[in-house]
């Protein structure tokens, strides 16, 4: 039991690492239903359901239902005939362990709930770039080692505490002290003097490496400050992590974990007082359910007003309802793939990585798992994004190329082979019908060249094994930040350690140099070109076998209006949905 207890603590630690935003806002872990393919990471952009027009920056929102397909602007500021009042009932894919950004795991459900109470220092605009939100402005030093934030004046937390430089310092001190989240924060900061106040509304971050894109790390969890008074009280009374205190448009009313969480309008919200920005709803209530089909049925029955999911059959259920519901689809974010651990045999040999890639039955995967809903993926970028390298094509369905590689490897390392096939473990989370189907498809395609031993683990143990480097081949879900700077952590050499966030544990110094160059420049075209080079190197190293682009569908009853109506305090149009999470204070309900 002692060993199990220790393993559980490590699992919790690593699961949190997979869910929080490393100063690069790299991931938002998924603790959703058991049918999820691998794990999830953070922020994505939005795209059309089927036909996607080329964009120069990552963000087109496709909205369908309620009268046909439109774009994001059609759901913005639909103020005519606005009605105030009512409670918006939202289904979320899972419960969260708490709502304190400095200590709790934030995934899609956490963000949907968290955005009612907290506001970020920066937010993704509709072009996928970070713009000031609680921050008024920012600048980087010439060498990229200092990042300075100027806060907006006269903002109060809902408990009356001021949002000032001291509050930001208190939040980051809490992040650095937390045994979980500090592992993701520390590498980005100069720990001799990580953060300091310049004046009442100005704070300076001292960075460990040059980073002109530091604002991308303050869009998510790390950039969502809570009241310092509340943070201090929560240290003594951890139950207060369930009763968040932020600067946002709502305040907590009640919370029963695994049942419901309700927020009511904050009548003293600073944006209402300063900018006359209205909050139309009386309340928002969230209902967790790991069964996406149940949430879809509840929406159809009128028991929910909206929910978000990545489950294809739940998506199909809502699509079958035609124009009865508003659908906001996003598949420009994270990808589903198989991933290899290069730190141990047999995948430390590129011949094995190539052989299993060539033998992979991608067409069967896309047909049976994608179910006509998911787009096939060649890399970590959707084809219409500026970061995408069109010359990179994911290989597969070429078993004739695998045989000679396997024969050569087994001749050199017979101890890792049996019957002329290479012995491998395929690890995935379960129990899950979908994961078993995926394992069936992959094992069948690999069977002529590999002896596949299936390893099914609970999700926490699955993540733990990968982080500890004791797995071989796994199914996974990751990437997807609107700005790929936020995904650097998954590829960086400095992410490899006892617990590794560079899951394949592969260090390529040339790729590392490209990653650092991309972080140091502010030239968008130059950064796009660098990421295209990075993408080619990732492909050539044969670390991942990409399958599909994950599709997030956010669906709402047609009576819910202004889904994409949130703007920054300066009036910048914000990204409507981000891997299933959205701001919700601009919505209103037609009760007519």
Q: What is the pLDDT of residues 167-210, one digit of tens each?
A: 999 999 999 987 667 766 777 899 999 999 999 999 999 999 89
Average pLDDT over residues 224-244: 97
Q: Is the pLDDT of residue 211 over 80?
A: yes
Helix, strand, or coil here: 364?
helix
Looking at the structure, tell me whether residues 541 and 556 fall in a common domain.
Answer: no
When pLDDT is averaged across residues 32-43 and rounded to a whole number, the result is 28
List strands edge to edge, sheet with 552-557. 62-64, 325-330, 552-557, 306-309, 87-92, 283-288, 260-265, 250-256
User: Which has more pLDDT, 58 or 263?
Assistant: 263
Task: Based on the fold, state whether residues 513 and 570 are members of the same structural domain.
Answer: no
Instruction: Say if residue 396's pLDDT is above 50.
Output: yes
Mean predicted lDDT score pLDDT of the chain: 86
Q: What is the CA radius of gyration of the chain?
A: 23
- The reply to whether 464 and 565 lie within a common domain is no
CB neighbourhood size of 540 (10 A): 12
- Burial label for 143, CB within 10 Å (0-12, 13-18, 19+), is exposed
Same domain, 70 and 212: yes
In this predicted structure, the answer to whether residue 67 has a pLDDT above a threshold of 70 is: no
> Do residues 279 and 266 make contact, with C-beta atoms less than 8 angstroms apart?
yes
Q: Is residue 289 included in any domain, yes or no? A: no
Q: Look up residue 416 and give its DSSP letter.
A: G
pLDDT at site 90: 97
The SS3 assignment for 254 reads strand
424, 352: one domain: yes
Q: What is the structure's pLDDT at 80?
A: 66
382 falls in which pLDDT band (50, 70, 90)? very high
What is the band of 284 on the pLDDT scale with cuts at 50, 70, 90?
Answer: very high
In this model, does residue 15 exceed pLDDT 60? no
In sequence order, the β-bridge partners of residue 207 are 189
| 400 located within any domain | yes
pLDDT surpasses 70 at 18: no
User: Over 60: is that where the pLDDT of 297 sits?
Assistant: yes
Q: What CATH number did the domain enclosing 68 receive?
A: 3.90.76.10
C-beta separation of 218 from 138 below 8 A: no
Q: Read off the pLDDT of each residue in 10-38 and give the average, rounded to a whole number.
A: 35
Amino acid 47: pLDDT: 31
Work out the percent of the chain whose per-residue pLDDT is above 90.
68
Is residue 486 predicted with pLDDT exceeding 90? no
485 confidence band (pLDDT: 50, 70, 90): confident
- At residue 343, φ and ψ (nearest 5 deg) are -85, -5
Residue 248 in this model has a pLDDT that exceeds 90: yes
The residue-averaged pLDDT of 417-437 equals 92
- Lateral strand order in the sheet of 135-140: 135-140, 146-151, 202-206, 195-199
Listed in sequence order, the residues at least 6 apart from 331 whose beta carbon sits closer than 8 Å to its beta carbon are: 47, 374, 375, 382, 549, 550, 551, 552
Lowest-pLDDT range, 91-95, 121-125, 314-318, 458-462?
Answer: 458-462
Nearest in space to 393 (alpha carbons), one of 367, 422, 358, 419: 358
Domain count, the chain: 2
Q: What is the pTM of this model?
A: 0.80
What torsion, rounded to 10 degrees, do the Cα atoms 141, 192, 508, 421 define?
-140
Using the predicted structure, report yes or no on whether residue 531 has a pLDDT greater than 90: yes
Q: What is the phi-psi region of residue 72: left when phi exceeds 0, alpha when psi lies from -120 to 50, beta otherwise?
A: alpha
Give exposure, 221-251, as e/b (b: 16+ Cβ within 10 Å). Answer: bbbbbbbbebbeebeeeeebbbbbbbbbbbb
* Pair 562, 469 in one domain: no
Task: Look at residue 535 and tell me if it is in a domain.
Answer: yes
CATH number for 454: 3.10.105.10
* Separation of alpha carbons 569 and 381, rounded Å: 30
Has residue 580 been placed in a domain?
yes
Residue 310 has pLDDT above 80, yes or no: yes
Task: Indicate the SS3 state at residue 174.
Answer: helix
Give yes or no: residues 230 and 361 share one domain: no
Which residues constitute the domain of residue 563?
48-242+552-589
Out of 472-476, 484-488, 501-505, which region has the weakest mean confidence (pLDDT)? Answer: 484-488
Predicted confidence at residue 118, as pLDDT, reads 98
């Amino acid at each position: 039991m002692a060993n199990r207890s220790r393993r559980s603590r490590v699992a919790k630690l690593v699961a949190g690492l997979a869910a929080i935003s490393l100063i690069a806002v790299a991931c938002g872990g998924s603790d959703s239903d058991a049918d999820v393919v691998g794990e999830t990471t953070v922020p994505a952009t939005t795209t059309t359901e089927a036909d996607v027009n080329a964009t120069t920056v990552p963000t087109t929102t496709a909205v369908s239902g309620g009268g046909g397909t439109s774009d994001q602007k059609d759901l913005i500021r639909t103020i005519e005939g606005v009605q105030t009042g009512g409670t918006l009932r939202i289904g979320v894919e899972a419960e969260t362990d708490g709502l304190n950004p400095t200590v709790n795991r934030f995934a899609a459900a956490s963000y949907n709930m968290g955005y009612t109470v907290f506001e970020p220092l920066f937010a993704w605009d509709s072009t996928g770039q970070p713009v000031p939100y609680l921050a008024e402005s920012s600048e980087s030093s010439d060498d990229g080692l200092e990042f300075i934030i100027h806060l907006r004046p006269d903002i109060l937390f809902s408990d009356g505490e001021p949002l000032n430089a001291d509050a930001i310092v208190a939040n980051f001190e809490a992040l650095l002290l937390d045994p979980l989240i500090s592992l993701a924060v520390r590498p980005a900061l100069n720990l001799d003097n990580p953060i300091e106040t310049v004046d009442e509304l100005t704070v300076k971050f001292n960075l460990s490496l040059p980073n002109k894109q530091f604002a991308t790390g303050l869009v998510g969890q790390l950039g969502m400050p809570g009241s310092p008074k509340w943070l201090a009280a929560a240290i003594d009374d951890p139950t207060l992590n369930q009763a968040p205190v932020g600067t946002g448009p709502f305040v907590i009313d009640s919370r029963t974990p695994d049942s419901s969480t309700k927020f009511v309008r904050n009548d003293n919200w600073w944006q209402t007082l300063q900018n006359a920005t209205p909050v139309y709803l009386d309340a928002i209530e969230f209902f967790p359910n790991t069964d996406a089909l149940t949430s879809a049925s509840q929406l159809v029955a009128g028991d929910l007003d909206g929910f978000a999911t990545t489950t294809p059959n739940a998506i199909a259920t809502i699509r079958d309802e035609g124009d009865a519901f508003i659908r906001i689809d996003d598949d420009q974010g994270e990808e589903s793939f198989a991933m290899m651990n290069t730190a141990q045999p047999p995948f430390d040999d590129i011949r094995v990585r190539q052989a299993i890639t060539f033998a992979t039955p991608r067409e069967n995967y896309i047909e049976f798992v994608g179910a006509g809903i998911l787009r096939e993926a060649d890399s970590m970028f959707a084809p219409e994004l500026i970061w995408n390298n069109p010359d990179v094509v994911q290989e597969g369905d070429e078993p004739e190329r695998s045989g000679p590689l396997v024969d050569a490897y087994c001749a050199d390392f017979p101890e890792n082979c049996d019957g002329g096939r290479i012995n491998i473990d395929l690890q995935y989370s379960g129990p899950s019908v979908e994961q078993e189907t995926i394992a069936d498809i992959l094992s069948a395609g690999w069977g002529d060249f590999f002896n596949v031993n299936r390893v099914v683990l609970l999700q926490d143990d699955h993540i733990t094994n990968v982080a500890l480097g004791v797995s071989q081949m796994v199914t996974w879900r990751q990437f997807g930040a609107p700005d790929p700077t936020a995904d650097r952590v998954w590829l960086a050499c400095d992410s490899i350690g006892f617990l590794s966030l560079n899951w394949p544990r592969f260090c390529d110094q040339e790729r590392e140099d490209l990653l650092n160059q991309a972080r140091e420049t502010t030239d968008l075209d130059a950064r796009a070109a660098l990421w295209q080079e990075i993408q080619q190197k990732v492909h050539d190293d044969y670390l991942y076998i990409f399958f599909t682009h994950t599709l997030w569908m956010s669906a709402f009853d047609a009576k819910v209006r202004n889904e994409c109506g949130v703007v920054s305090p300066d009036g910048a149009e914000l990204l409507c949905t981000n891997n299933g999470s959205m701001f919700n204070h601009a919505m209103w309900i037609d009760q007519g």
